[in-house]
Every structure is written in C-alpha cells, then in structure tokens.
Amino acid sequence: MIDSGNADLISGFRPQMLKFARLQLQDEAAADDAVQEAIESALIGLDRFAGRSALKTWIFTILRHKIIDTLRERGRTVQISSFGRDEGELDEAFDMLFKENEHWSPQGRPQAWGDPEEALAQRQFWQVFETCLEVLPARTARVFMMREFLGFETDEICATLVLTTSNCNVILHRARAALRQCLTHGWFGAEARA
C-alpha cells in the first residue's frame, strides 16, 4: 500500500517535472503524459527505492527515461514551431565575449570558480543553474539538456532535431559558454557570493 505522505511528496515534484518535460518534448500533452507515467512508476516502485540518492533524483531519473523513450519513438519528426526563442540574441551575447582577433575580451574572460564540487552540493546553486537554463533560447537549452542530462549522443540529437553535426556542436558550445557566463555572474562571481 502506498503511504499518502510519500505520494504527496512525489506529487510535489510535479511542477518541476513538467517544466523539464515541456522543454524536452515541446508538447504539452506529451510532457504531461511523461510526468504522469513517471509519477505512477515511482509510486508503484517506491518499495524499491533504496535511498542511495535523493528521492527527487530518483524520480527525475525515471522521468528522464520516459522522455528518452518518447524522443526515440518520435524519430525524426520535428515541429518547426518548437524553435520559438530567437537565437540571434545568444549569438550577439556570445560575440561580445571575444575581441576581433578571437581572443577573450577582458570582460568576457572566464573567471576562476573556486571549488565547483562544493557549489554542486548547495540547493541554491541548482536554482541559479535552472534560471540560467531558462534564459537560453529554447532550442539551445533543449540541445544542451539532451546531451548533458538525457545522455544522448550527438548523432542522436542531430537525428532527432534534424541538425548537422557542426550545427549541434556550435549550439552546445554556445550553450556551455552562455551557462558559464550566467553562472559566473549569478553564482560564482564575487558580487553574487558577498
């Protein structure tokens, strides 16, 4: 029998799960289905949760597998409307990081982050990281999440989103650079931590 406290706790993750699923699936109904299936699977398999990770991590792993299955089922079908935000803004911000000779500009140069391992253990870091992801153009964030969170290989991402390998690599590079810049200012920068 499912403990109502555990069911409430698991259901409490639903808004964050929906946000993650919507970004990846670009389809409200498919995202809702994936989240619902993940919650049902978690509730059914709760007795198998060994506690070696946080409950939230375990549930998001289940959701991740549901999203991967859905994306693989879709194959090469892509909705053009899924590329909503303008990536030109990201291009402009990225170009400002470098001088004409392609070297770092003084204000664009990466700063030392101290101990990243320590930051990863802090809940506030992940809130800042999530905010930084939301600032990225939708397609850029989606490609980054497919690679880094869902574990897709570059060729799978290219096939799913109908991208060339070089375009995918450029998108990943720009996503990482934009995230680094956002995290530097929002978390690792001296003014943010003071």
Collect all residues with Cβ–Cβ distance below 8 Å to 114 and sequence separation of at least 6: 188
pLDDT tens by residue, 63-108: 988 988 888 777 544 443 444 445 555 556 556 666 677 666 666 6
- d(CA 90, CA 135) in angstroms, rounded, equals 10
Query: Does residue 160 fall inside a structural domain?
Result: yes
User: Which CATH number is 48's domain given?
Assistant: 1.10.1740.10
Among candidate residues 74, 92, 110, the one where a domain is terminated = 74
| Same domain, residue pair 105 and 184 | yes
Which of the given ranges, 78-92, 128-142, 177-191, has the highest pLDDT on average? 128-142
The per-residue pLDDT of the chain, averaged, comes to 76
Tally of structural domains, the chain:
2
Instruction: Specify whether 48 is located in the same domain as 132.
Output: no
Tell me which of 122-131, 149-158, 174-183 is least confident. 122-131
Task: Say yes or no: 155 and 188 in one domain.
Answer: yes
Q: Give residue 96's pLDDT.
A: 61
Domain membership flag for residue 79:
no
Q: Note the pLDDT of residue 164.
A: 94
Q: What is the DSSP string of 93-155?
A: HHHTTB-TTSSBPTTTSPPP-S-HHHHHT-HHHHHHHHHHHHHS-HHHHHHHHHHHTS---HH
Indicate whether 89 and 135 sit together in one domain. Answer: yes
Same domain, 125 and 36: no
Amino acid at 94: F
State the CATH number of the domain containing residue 157: 1.10.10.10
Last residue of a domain, one of 21, 42, 74: 74
Give the pLDDT confidence score for residue 108 in this predicted structure. 62
Same domain, 69 and 110: no
Structural domain containing residue 98? 84-193
Question: Is this model's pTM higher than 0.75 or not?
Answer: no
C-alpha closest to that of 84 among 129, 136, 18: 136
In a domain? residue 51: yes
